Amino acid sequence: MKFSATLFAGAATLCLATTIGSSAAADGHAPSCGLNTGEAATGEPITVGGINGNAPPGDFSGGTDAAAAYFACVNANGGINGRPINYLVENDQWNPELAGQVATKLVKDEGVVALVGNGSVVEMAVNARLYADEGVMAMASGCAISECYESANIVSTNQGPLPSGIGALKYAVEELGTEHAICIGFNIPNNGGWACGWMENYMASKGKVGTSILMDPTAVDLNSVYLQALTEGADTILLMLPAAPAIGLLKVAEEQGGRDLFKWVSPTPLYDPGVADILGDYWADNLYINIELAQFDSAGADNQNWIKVMDAYGQADDRRDTFSQSGYVSAKFFVDALLALDPSTIDRDSVTAAIKGIVGAESDLLCDPYYVGDADRHMPNHSGRMVKFTGTGFEMVRDCYDIDTEYLEPILAQEAALGLR
């Protein structure tokens, strides 16, 4: 199977919205947002930005969609002590040049006080320096590259491929008997190379074997990748890929009867309500996925409020995936931080300080308290859950657990300094 834009587009249009929200909408309660006054904010707007990447090979717009919905709900309920949020969203279209242009527009021309809900594979690498130079924080929600976690002015509520992928592999080693795993990812140094490299270190630390197959994202031949995997002598495949190519590889394996030749594990991208319709029964009980936030049908208060917000203030075609949950919780923490400020003094400096001052914020969507702090890197979410694909959905097989990797050592030291450990 040659990897194609058609396949990407097919996965990008997975139906994510219709079934998740029914339970919360049915209970008749309005969503909870900010001050909950029920009165629209009419003061001077506070301008906030957001950047997503929505074009082949993937749609990372879920975070900004959810942030937009939450901000609309906040604006309808008193705003930031009377001031509404004017949320401006740009699409970088996976184009580094465009990513730089839209960030400059938001940060310099529009003068945003912060960026919230960002989700992209390119924009953080392009703009991390800009954000630091301009003293503006990006509370991201859909990160997949190293710069997103190794920059002073970017912090995300999603884990990204490194913790989630190693989390999946940790489960495979401890529960499935994995001895030799292949990490299949894109040959992008700050994405597949970064995450698969640390996966190899993790396997070595456990006395196991880890190898990597990295594909050129512009010329992917999934048949060749699968055939190469067959020659490696591994017992486990870690799909360190976005959903569309991961699904494509599973389809290649299915066509060649490969399900039982490996244990199959994946980080979060395959946790998607539309996956069941594409994969069907063949992969039931044979695919394990690490998820970065709570299950979509979790009864937790924040998860249920996310559903209500999307039902009441989202658009019909908004994605409702992990990035959407992440965008909601980023927006919620952002609003909570701004509500503690004197509304008459809100500017970029005060907002940056308020964001960096977040310590110990809690949500049932996350396993651990969220924090930012003043540091040269941020990864507050590195504990996840494990689910098994059932053929029609997902079943929790392990609740919140952390990973053990040297990569987290500076993060854990930061948490200890903040009194979180």
Three-state DSSP state, 87: strand
Q: Rounded CA gap, 110 and 381, in Å? A: 30
pLDDT at residue 25 in the model? 40
Q: Rounded CA gap, 268 and 90, in Å? A: 24
Q: Rounded CA gap, 84 and 75, in Å? A: 5
Label residue 273 by pLDDT band (50, 70, 90): confident
Q: Rounded CA gap, 161 and 192, in Å? A: 8
pLDDT at residue 57 in the model? 72
pLDDT digits (tens, 9 = 90+) for 167-217: 999 999 999 999 999 999 999 889 899 999 999 999 999 999 999 999 988
Three-state DSSP state, 173: helix
Q: Is 281 exposed, middle or buried (0-12, 13-18, 19+ CB in 10 A)?
A: exposed
pLDDT digits (tens, 9 = 90+) for 52-82: 999 877 789 999 999 999 999 999 999 999 9
